[in-house]
Amino acid sequence: MTTRTEAVKAYLLDLQDRICHALQAEDGGAQFVEDAWTRPAGGGGRTRVIADGELIEKGGVNFSHVFGSGLPPSASAHRPELAGRGFEALGVSLVIHPHNPHVPTSHANVRFFIAEKEGEEAVWWFGGGFDLTPYYAHEEDCIHWHRVAQQACEPFGADVYPRYKAWCDRYFHLKHRGEPRGVGGLFFDDLNEWDFDKSFAFMRAIGDAFIDAYLPIVQHRKAMAYTAQQREFQEFRRGRYVEFNLVYDRGTLFGLQSGGRTESILMSLPPQVRWGYDWKAEPGSEEARLTEYFLQDRDWLAPAPAL
């Protein structure tokens, strides 16, 4: 293992520890259960799952470090020159599905890939980001989420946040529904335009920002009362989350195609979800406002218009 890979691995293991500790403390009623696993083709990881807590209905914070002799199609499709190279992939990926429909679902991941071939220079890149999927959205929550994202990017250049915010809006988009999965955040991949140290520092900045972005929203919303109807709407909207993860998500496809651990990969799916034929929100309702106002490619940090 190279020194670079060792440094990334040490950071990711620590990040998993810190995020689990913060979320478990906020929940106050359940604990993460750890499941260490080994991948027969090379590598392994530690899956941590929390369920049926006071706050979190189901959540997982996964660390994985896998390697092999050839990249799977999902990783080499847009970079065919990498086909046939040996690879290592390290990452932390998390999804949190709260009970309360006023508390958004959140997702984050940070990852590092390195592809090597004897006699040729190694090719490496970083990827990651975080995004928010509310059901009953609040403007101030969306602004806070994006402000933390912008502040994490700011030391790396004024263009970084708008670029990766726009990439997130494009990536987390359900083409067959014609709508975004949530209110966005950041998404980046194939990051090697800077040197290794700066690229690694950026990945750390994004990983470290997740708790700062998410916990204040959780704290503001977790005690809000909700109805059975609101819970039902949350389950319909969770259906969109499942559709994206199983049809489009690059990480899910990479994990399944590389022989990853199925239970850990599908940990991201919510425990209670529903689909209804041609289901539509009542016009003018709070539920309709989610798609009509919040699920738009909006600049959440734009100044309010003058009155």
Write the single-letter amino acid at 193: E
Q: Is the dihedral of CA 164, 170, 174, 177 positive or negative?
A: positive
Residue 51 bridge partners (DSSP): 58
Give the C-alpha separation, 142 to 151, whole Å. Answer: 14
Confirm whether 107 is a catalytic residue. yes
Q: Write out the binding residues for a divalent metal cation.
A: 97, 107, 146, 176
Contact between 202 and 154 (Cβ < 8 Å): no
Contact between 224 and 48 (Cβ < 8 Å): no
Give the C-alpha separation, 142 to 145, whole Å. Answer: 5
Among candidate residues 21, 107, 138, 220, the one labeled active-site is 107
CB contact set of 195 (below 8 Å; sequence gap of 6+): none
Contact between 87 and 107 (Cβ < 8 Å): no
Say if strands 33-38 and 173-174 run parallel, antiparallel, or are unpaired.
unpaired
Q: Write out the binding residues for substrate.
A: 93, 109-111, 259-261
Residue with tokens 């090719």: 123
Q: How many helices (H) and strands (E) does the chain have?
A: 9, 9
C-alpha distance from residue 19 to each of 63, 251, 268 (Å): 12, 20, 16
Q: Write out the binding residues.
A: 93, 97, 107, 109-111, 146, 176, 259-261
CB contact set of 260 (below 8 Å; sequence gap of 6+): 39, 64, 66, 254
Helix (H) or strand (E) holding 295: none
Write the single-letter amino acid at 63: F
Residues known to be catalytic: 107
